[in-house]
Amino acid sequence: MEFSTLTTASLHTLKTPALAVGVFQDGVLSEAADALDQAASGALRAIVKAEFDAAPGSCLPVHAPAGIAASRVILLGLGAQDHYKAAVHARAQAALAAYCARAGVAGTVSTLAAIACPDSSMTDRARAAARAAAAAAYRYDATFSKPRPAPKLRTFALHVGRGQAAQAREGLRQGGAIGAGMNLARTLGDLPPNVCTPTYLGKTARDLARQFKTLKAEVLDQRKIEALKMGSFLSVARGSAEPPAFIVLRHTPSARPAGKHAPVVLVGKGITFDSGGISIKPGPAMDEMKFDMCGAASVLGTMRAIAELDLPHEVIGIVPSCENLPSGTANKPGDIVTSMSGQTIEILNTDAEGRLILCDALTYAERFKPAAVIDIATLTGACVIALGHVNSGLFSQDEDLAQALLAAGREALDPAWRMPLEDAYQDQLKSNFADMANIGGRPAGSVTAACFLSRFAGKYPWAHLDIAGTAWNEGKDKGATGRPVPLLVQYLLDRAGSR
């Protein structure tokens, strides 16, 4: 998609298939809507009065209004003017993008970003607008016999004041990259598990490194993983005929910032199918466990976005990837494995496999002497029970890192909620036969999972995001969401200070 800004003075002379303006509740027109209404001799105000309540997210196209050059004016509802905020703006931009996709519109000009709102800058609003447009252009069509009709939206322009064009352009650039990163994450999540294998994820990392010159990919195979003594990760991989992959994707900015900067490391859970293993899951909805690599997908999507933006900081993405299947060589309840850290683990439930592959990746991350490590994983059903599909679960004992991630989530409208991670929960992981068990019983299941990981993340500031409830939608709209790519990119942008 092509993003641009416009600063034309007379909106009514603008030729575009769809010109979008904001309308508040009780018939209050935004500045742009008012200007168009004057050019159309009051026609817009009359339509608003007759049939538009301007509820947030609502949308009413007005075709070929007299006195206006655009083929249609799209009225977008912004709710009550005194409650207007960034989230309502983003929702309206999403409604516009959805309308364009539905109606087969090829290009649109939106005037919404020019409306000030208390909790956002022009850059923030432009970022949200571009992200919405890019996300609406997503269509999964890899495995249909006939190509599905794709959205036609090709050009997206923001109409802004002259003094704000540079800020708007920077926001569009960021939002476009975030949208493309989300769409990559969604595609990987949506692909079936017989296509999106560990090998496929490795190939995706290599393809990214070919496409972006700041990225370098390394994919370690079974032999190299053995040489690293990742006994915990390998124990999960051993149940499947599909070979595991340990992916390291490194972004080195083209211009190094002054001074020395330790990298941020992102670690994504890459279980390309989770049957539960010998502790097998029930049949209904088991297909959804193809999404168990959405942490990995969010790492690859985030790496794509920051490479496109050439973020001025080093970031390293790590993905341990394998399948979790039952077989004659699979983990059994009672098995004890030795992790790369040397700590031994009694596997009491083979379905708690995510932590078994992540722990070795967290140990591997030590070699980068990282400023921070964030792991992202569809780790526990318990997190879905606790937080539903709204917030990702955030676990961290590092106050600064936790606050930075929470703020990034709020800013990016991709929220996370802080969960506890105190030593008192560690007792639940006690094993009679090994340094720890891989499960802590039903109480606080998402917390004990995080406690398990914390035992491998002591050498650097660390945070864990449980995205089991936010990475995909169930039911009729089943599919990957691309979360938490927006949160992660926002965190990295904030950190690099390029806002």
In the bound state with Mn ion, the residue whose beta carbon lies nearer, of 41 and 329, is 329
In the bound state with Mn ion, the residue whose beta carbon lies nearer, of 274 and 411, is 274
Count of residues engaged in binding Zn ion, rule: CB under 5 A:
4
| Amino acid at the residue 61 | P
Kindly calculate the radius of gyration of the chain based on its CA atoms and give it in whole angstroms: 24
Rounded to a whole number of angstroms, the minimum distance from the CB of residue 349 to Mn ion is 8
From the list 449, 461, 452, the residue with the least C-alpha distance to 382 is 449
Phi, psi of 108 (to 5 degrees): -145, 155
The C-alpha atoms of residue 358 and residue 319 are separated, in whole angstroms, by 9
Rounded to a whole number of angstroms, the minimum distance from the CB of residue 377 to Zn ion is 8
Rounded to a whole number of angstroms, the minimum distance from the CB of residue 212 to ligand BES is 30
Tokens 């318990």, located at residue: 382
Identify the active-site residue in 125, 131, 250, 355: 355
The C-alpha atoms of residue 42 and residue 46 are separated, in whole angstroms, by 6
In the bound state with ligand BES, the residue whose beta carbon lies nearer, of 93 and 428, is 428
349 binds, among Zn ion, ligand BES, Mn ion, none (CB under 5 to 8 A by kind): ligand BES
The C-alpha atoms of residue 69 and residue 217 are separated, in whole angstroms, by 50
Rounded to a whole number of angstroms, the minimum distance from the CB of residue 303 to Zn ion is 22
Residue nearest ligand BES, Cβ-based? 381
Residue from the set 179, 354, 370, 393 that interacts with Zn ion by CB under 5 A: 354
Rounded to a whole number of angstroms, the minimum distance from the CB of residue 449 to Mn ion is 10
355 is catalytic: yes
| The one segment of 87-95, 115-123, 350-358, 424-432 that binds Zn ion by CB under 5 A | 350-358
323 binds, among Zn ion, ligand BES, Mn ion, none (CB under 5 to 8 A by kind): none
Binding site for ligand BES (CB under 6 A): 274, 292, 349, 351-354, 378-382, 384, 439, 445, 468
In the bound state with Zn ion, the residue whose beta carbon lies nearer, of 231 and 354, is 354
281 is catalytic: yes
In the bound state with Mn ion, the residue whose beta carbon lies nearer, of 170 and 288, is 288
| 3-class DSSP string for the chain | CEEEEECCCCHHHCCCCCEEEEEEHHHEECHHHHHHHHHCCCHHHHHHHHHCCCCCCCEEEEECCCCCCCCEEEEEECCCHHHCCHHHHHHHHHHHHHHHHHHCCCEEEECHHHCCCCCCCHHHHHHHHHHHHHHHCCCCCCCCCCCCCCCCCCEEEEECCHHHHHHHHHHHHHHHHHHHHHHHHHHHHHCCCCCCCHHHHHHHHHHHHHHCCCEEEEEECHHHHHHCCCHHHHHHHCCCCCCCEEEEEEECCCCCCCCCCCCEEEEECEEEEECCCCCCCCCCCHHHHHHHHHHHHHHHHHHHHHHHHCCCCCEEEEEEEEEECCCCCCCCCCCEEECCCCCEEECCCCCCCHHHHHHHHHHHHHHHCCCEEEEEECCCHHHHHHHCCCCEEEEECCHHHHHHHHHHHHHCCCCEEECCCCHHHHHHHCCCCCCEECCCCCCCHHHHHHHHHHCCCCCCCEEEEECCCCCEECHHHCEECCCCHHHHHHHHHHHHCCC
Binders of Zn ion in range 279-308 (CB under 5 A): 292
Binding site for Mn ion (CB under 5 A): 274, 351, 353
Rounded to a whole number of angstroms, the minimum distance from the CB of residue 439 to ligand BES is 4
151 near Zn ion (CB under 5 A): no
381 binds, among ligand BES, Zn ion, Mn ion, none (CB under 5 to 8 A by kind): ligand BES
In the bound state with ligand BES, the residue whose beta carbon lies nearer, of 292 and 308, is 292
Rounded to a whole number of angstroms, the minimum distance from the CB of residue 354 to Zn ion is 4
Rounded to a whole number of angstroms, the minimum distance from the CB of residue 383 to ligand BES is 8
Paired with 156 in beta bridges are 3, 108
From the list 492, 481, 461, 399, the residue with the least C-alpha distance to 188 is 481
Identify the active-site residue in 229, 281, 410, 495: 281
375 binds, among Mn ion, ligand BES, Zn ion, none (CB under 5 to 8 A by kind): none
| The one segment of 69-77, 339-347, 353-361, 459-467 that binds Zn ion by CB under 5 A | 353-361
The C-alpha atoms of residue 72 and residue 106 are separated, in whole angstroms, by 12
In the bound state with ligand BES, the residue whose beta carbon lies nearer, of 111 and 428, is 428
314 binds, among Zn ion, Mn ion, ligand BES, none (CB under 5 to 8 A by kind): none
Rounded to a whole number of angstroms, the minimum distance from the CB of residue 386 to Zn ion is 17
Binders of Zn ion in range 252-281 (CB under 5 A): 271, 274
466 binds, among ligand BES, Mn ion, Zn ion, none (CB under 5 to 8 A by kind): none
In the bound state with Zn ion, the residue whose beta carbon lies nearer, of 208 and 467, is 467
In the bound state with Mn ion, the residue whose beta carbon lies nearer, of 274 and 375, is 274
Cis omega (within 30 of 0) for bond into 326: no
Task: Name the residues that contact Zn ion, by CB under 5 A.
Answer: 271, 274, 292, 354
Active site positions, annotated? 281, 355
